[in-house]
Amino acid sequence: MPEAGGFRRLAIIGLGLIGSSLARAARQFGGAGTIVAIDRDPAVLERVRALGLADEVTDDLAGVAGADLVILCVPVGAAGAVAERMGPHLSPGAIVSDVGSVKVSVVAGVSPHLPEGVTFVPAHPVAGTEYSGPDAGFSTLFQGRWCILTPPEGSDPEAVARVQAFWEGIGAIVESMTAEHHDLVLAITSHVPHLIAYNIVGTAADLEAVTQSEVIKFSAGGFRDFTRIAASDPTMWRDVFLANKDAVLEMLGRFNEDLAALARAIRWGDGDALHDLFTRTRAIRRSIVAMGQETAEADFGRGRPVTDTTSSARGEE
């Protein structure tokens, strides 16, 4: 039996970085008694078996039968289709959750396919790395990281409390908000930064003659960090931008306005404006470190040895 706050039978659909980390964390910290791994990729299933991440491994969504918690760890664009196929196999009283970084579209896509008596408690662990696949996961990925719950109005409070207890049990700090507010906040804290990273690295790639020599050879910390972010899973981020396009476009509009103001300050030699901006942004960085969401170590601590043999360098989603 799992410890307090855990579930009797946990089904994880999608055993990439997040899904495999969930399996490891649930095993290590008592989040579930039995862990079922479901994935359509035979190569992923083979690695899951070899790594011993689950008690049961299958490519059949009927594997959710009997689970009291089902977590969708699939690209947000696929969540609705997966929910439609697994819906008939869900047990009465089951709780369904997810890990997507977009919430409004996931709620709209998943909820209609869940039978009566099944509660959907969407979740978003704000944690990740640029790596993917079952080998990239590690049990401490969620330690000290935020997990945002966005339960729809009228959700069963007991189900929400159980999902919160599950995430807290594997080390996350849990907060709740509406799906709409979540998508707006994540547009500026996660989605737009990723879009900027993809664009900057893409611009460098377009300068083909330079990229093969000076740009890569002399990459400083700033560009290296952009390439780390831009190495994130392309399918996942394609779906994120399409699913959260309204909030992303709103934040991009604001960003473009601020970027134009910054360009004017540089053009006209307004050193005071530049200094004021850099002072404010430096304070934000320090507050992130103070909250424990990053380290002040050189190179952001990414060069330090890891203690979990299955872990990879940590980066924010």
Strand ranges of the sheet holding 173-176, from the earlier edge strand across to the other edge: 123-125, 146-149, 173-176
Q: What is the predicted pLDDT for the residue at 4?
A: 43
| Residue with tokens 């409004």, as numbered in its chain | 104
213 and 263 part of one domain? yes
Q: What is the predicted pLDDT for the residue at 311?
A: 33
Compute the distance between CA of residue 107 and CA of residue 121 in angstroms, rounded to an integer. 9
306: in domain: no
Strand ranges of the sheet holding 7-13, from the earlier edge strand across to the other edge: 56-58, 32-38, 7-13, 69-72, 95-98, 119-120
164 and 219 part of one domain? no
Q: What is the predicted pLDDT for the residue at 303?
A: 44
Domain of 185? Answer: 181-269
185 and 248 part of one domain? yes
282: in domain: no
Q: What is the CATH number of the domain that holds 200?
A: 1.10.3660.10
Strands 119-120 and 123-125: what pairing? unpaired
Structure tokens at 3: 């410890």
Number of other residues whose CB lies within 10 A of the CB of residue 133: 17
Residue where a domain terminates, one of 177, 211, 243: 177
From the list 43, 48, 18, the residue with the least C-alpha distance to 129 is: 18
Q: What is the CATH number of the domain that holds 32?
A: 3.40.50.720
What is the count of structural domains for the chain? 2
Residue where a domain terminates, one of 161, 177, 193: 177
Percent of the chain exceeding pLDDT 70 equals: 84
From the list 302, 304, 261, 25, the residue with the least C-alpha distance to 143 is: 25
- pLDDT under 50: residue ranges of the chain: 1-4, 298-316
| Residue with tokens 């039968």, as numbered in its chain | 65
Q: What is the predicted pLDDT for the residue at 306?
A: 37
254 and 106 part of one domain? no
Compute the distance between CA of residue 148 and CA of residue 166 in angstroms, rounded to an integer. 13
106 and 249 part of one domain? no
243 and 197 part of one domain? yes
